[in-house]
Amino acid sequence: MGSIANRPSQDELDRLRMEAAALVERVGDERIVARFFIAESFLPFWLGSVTKPDVSQFDAAETAATRALSIAERLDDARLQSAARDGLAAVQTLRGQARAALKTNYPRLALEDRVDLLERMDAYGVITWAHCWLGELDDAARVSAAGLALLQPGQVPAWALHVVAWRAYALALRGFAAAFGVAHARGAEAAAERYREAIEEIERAFIARQGPRQERYLAFVRDDAHAMHAAIAERFPYDHRVIELWERLYARLADLAYAVDADLAQRVIAFAVRYEYRALEASARRAFGVGADDQAELRRALEIFDAIGAVPYSARTRCELAQRTGDRMMFDAGARVLDGLGDVDQLRRYEDLFGR
């Protein structure tokens, strides 16, 4: 569902669902019944890109997934079990229950070759996703590596890309794995511009089909601080679909020393604490600390970055905290890490500020 750019209208979808619900009452094949319930379980995920599902829709979807899983386990149908768990975990994810989603999804890996490669890659992808949101970067790296090791060149490219994308996010938090981030950090502006153009070309296709709200993803690659902040304000606290986007935007706003809105930042921090989104919490605290010269927030951000192994962001936060305390030894410790990572752009910015 997440890869579909051309969507049927809501009226068309409702009509199809009503027809299916009427037909399933007359079906004797339990596998078909289970497939219907699995499809119903994904309704909140489908609706979430255009509207906010209500509690009753979440409840109905969770019930449908549970019924499908019960049938699938009774029939010992591995493919249906995996799909039903996927649907149930999707509901849990959108409800902010990332840890429960992990518990639901991990048994999918044990099905191994009883399911097709597409289904296996989907399981590796969503598990890596949940670990990223929870700030469990080592687990995200481990699971994604195991999934990608199963692939031969050219196999299930869309699902492989999903795993690669979440792995790149986890590794970027741990030390600049994403090509655009590497080029930007190292001052290789020609390379960064090529990556920026490629990203914008991809996003234009989605903007044409889904509307201008998709442009919020471009604010990051354009270093448009005002638009980045507006993107957070527009979407928060709409749902649990774009945790990584908020985290990336706050991280970049901190890099740029942009004065973020204090009330919004505090609400995002409270939200992240409630749902255990540790990377988001740390980046929001860092951005707020930089903008408000709040040393306590920077210290808390540093503790979290250190705990989750977000090495470049620990180093950046050390430099930012040192600028405010005058601690040259702390600054030098952070700067050494950034120098080792080749983070020329940010290091130059810090050295200029520290020298003032």
CATH of the domain at 71: 1.25.40
Q: For residue 72, tell me if it sits in a domain.
A: yes
Last residue of a domain, one of 97, 112, 127: 112
Per-residue model confidence (pLDDT) at position 313: 96
Please give the DSSP secondary-structure letter assigned to residue 48.
Answer: T
Per-residue model confidence (pLDDT) at position 32: 94
Most confident of 26-30, 162-166, 175-179: 162-166
Q: For residue 2, tell me if it sits in a domain.
A: no
Neighbouring CB atoms inside 10 A of 237's CB total 12
**Residue range 202-222: mean pLDDT, rounded:** 68
Task: Give the chain's mean pLDDT.
Answer: 89
* Residue whose entry in the numeric block shows the structure tokens 């094949």: 29
Do 326 and 224 belong to one domain?
yes
Q: What digits encode the pLDDT tens for the residues 100-142? A: 999 999 999 999 999 999 999 999 999 999 999 999 999 999 9
Q: Report d(CA 209, CA 217) in Å as an integer.
A: 15
Do 14 and 29 belong to one domain?
yes
Last residue of a domain, one of 147, 175, 203: 175
Structure token digits, residue 103? 């518990």
Do 209 and 284 belong to one domain?
yes
Q: For residue 3, tell me if it sits in a domain.
A: no
Looking at the structure of the chain, the number of domains it has is 3
Per-residue model confidence (pLDDT) at position 22: 87
Do 225 and 328 belong to one domain?
yes
| Domain range for 82 | 10-112
Last residue of a domain, one of 175, 195, 226: 175
Q: For residue 201, tell me if it sits in a domain.
A: yes
Do 75 and 205 belong to one domain?
no
Q: Report d(CA 93, CA 352) in Å as an integer.
A: 42
Between residues 193 and 339, which one has the greater pLDDT? Answer: 339
Query: Which residue type is seen at 181?
Result: G
**Residue range 145-151: mean pLDDT, rounded:** 97
Per-residue model confidence (pLDDT) at position 353: 66
The answer to whether the predicted template modeling score (pTM) of the entire model surpasses 0.75 is: yes
Per-residue model confidence (pLDDT) at position 343: 85
Q: For residue 44, tell me if it sits in a domain.
A: yes
Do 136 and 87 belong to one domain?
no
Do 73 and 150 belong to one domain?
no
Do 201 and 253 belong to one domain?
yes
